[in-house]
């Protein structure tokens, strides 16, 4: 909170206070009226009381009242400073592959867990955007519609696991579901971030067709291929030996992922390890910055009433004291 005076030139009136004090002191030195008595015997018996010096309180009260009125004329105001944030936000749909191949451990601790953690960090970095979540395997579902409640979105992310959807990789269906969520958006920028570790092998919609739909609605797609090159270790449950690892061939098809990104004005990335995956999401975060305009303002409240009320109360006290305790004999 800040204090200011709307009419500060009235503060110059404080210059009248020293002359008032000087005139009062001069009068006190000159003395007052005189009284004649036939003898002084009974005057000597009069006890001296402290109230005789307290009479100067009247001057103090009057000076204080004048000072308060001067402050009131200067119009003191209290101001509360704030800011208005105008943002042209970005609507983002995260599209994540939940096929069982996401359990491969070439990206530690495994692909799906690494993606969940990195995507959650990406969400936390966004400040004023609506973000939603689509997951797919053989089918595609909207796990979370566009929202600014990042807490619930991150919770949905943390609850993801393979096996929630029948196994398969329907990339086109995942993209189509995300496009359907973004097509009516009025945001300045509409973005899909697709992450998969395989090639399209399910669904009724081809990935390129889905990309053309996105292009028609002005939606940009960033595609991320999450897997190493060659083979990756995959956990399997053996009925005799329990959990063991077998090497599986990496089947990611980069050509359609590149074409999807190029068609919509986005970019294709390949994440071969956890560090690269984190770097990719940071780069997308830099590329899709939200434009924020901040307008600062200060809201002022008039305070002169309080000063006037205090001055009148003090003047009332002075009047009462002048006609009672400090009453002068005519």
Cα 322 from Cα 318, distance rounded (Å): 6
DSSP tag of 328: P
Least confident of 76-85, 185-194, 246-255: 76-85
Residues of the chain with CATH 3.40.50.410: 90-289
Q: What is the pLDDT of residues 192-222, one digit of tens each?
A: 999 999 899 999 999 999 999 999 999 999 9
- Residues whose CB falls within 8 Å of the CB of residue 124, separated by 6 or more in sequence, listed in order: 150, 154
Q: Domain 90-289 is classified in which CATH homologous superfamily? A: von Willebrand factor, type A domain (3.40.50.410)
Q: Tell which phi-psi region holds residue 33, choosing left (phi > 0), alpha (psi between -120 and 50) or beta.
A: beta
Cα 115 from Cα 299, distance rounded (Å): 46
As given in the structure block, the two tokens for residue 198 are 């395989």
Q: What is the pLDDT of residues 223-282, one digit of tens each?
A: 999 999 889 999 988 777 778 888 888 888 899 999 999 999 999 999 999 999 999 999
Whether the predicted pLDDT of 20 surpasses 70: yes
């Amino acid at each position: 909170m800040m204090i200011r005076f709307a009419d500060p030139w009235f503060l110059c009136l404080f210059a009248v206070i020293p002359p008032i004090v000087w005139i009062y002191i001069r009068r006190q030195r000159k003395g007052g009226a005189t009284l004649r008595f036939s003898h002084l015997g009974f005057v000597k018996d009069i006890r001296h009381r402290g109230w005789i010096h307290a009479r100067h309180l009247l001057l103090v009260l009057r000076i204080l009242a004048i000072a308060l009125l001067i402050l009131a004329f200067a119009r003191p105001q209290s101001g509360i400073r704030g800011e208005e944030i105008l943002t042209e936000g970005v609507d983002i749909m995260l599209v994540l592959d939940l096929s069982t191949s996401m359990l491969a451990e070439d990206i530690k601790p495994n692909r799906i867990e690494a993606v969940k953690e990195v995507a959650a960090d990406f969400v936390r970095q966004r400040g004023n955007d609506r973000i939603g979540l689509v997951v797919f395997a053989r089918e595609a579902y909207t796990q979370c519609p566009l929202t600014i409640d990042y807490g619930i979105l991150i919770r949905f992310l943390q609850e993801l696991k393979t096996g929630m959807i029948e196994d398969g990789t329907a990339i086109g269906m995942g993209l189509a579901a995300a496009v359907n969520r973004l097509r009516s958006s009025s945001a300045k920028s509409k973005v899909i971030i697709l992450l998969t570790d395989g090639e399209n092998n399910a669904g009724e919609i081809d990935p390129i067709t889905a990309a053309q739909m996105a292009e028609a609605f002005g939606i940009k797609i960033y595609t991320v291929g999450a897997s190493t090159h060659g083979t990756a270790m995959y956990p399997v449950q053996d009925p005799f030996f329990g959990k063991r690892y077998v090497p599986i061939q990496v089947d990611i098809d980069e050509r359609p992922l590149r074409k999807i990104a190029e068609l919509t004005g986005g970019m294709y990335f390949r994440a071969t390890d956890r560090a690269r995956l984190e770097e990719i999401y940071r780069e997308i975060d830099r590329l899709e910055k939200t434009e924020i305009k901040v307008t600062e303002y200060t809201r002022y409240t008039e305070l002169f009433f309080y000063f006037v009320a205090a001055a009148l109360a003090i003047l009332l006290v002075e009047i009462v004291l002048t006609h009672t305790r400090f009453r002068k004999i005519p």
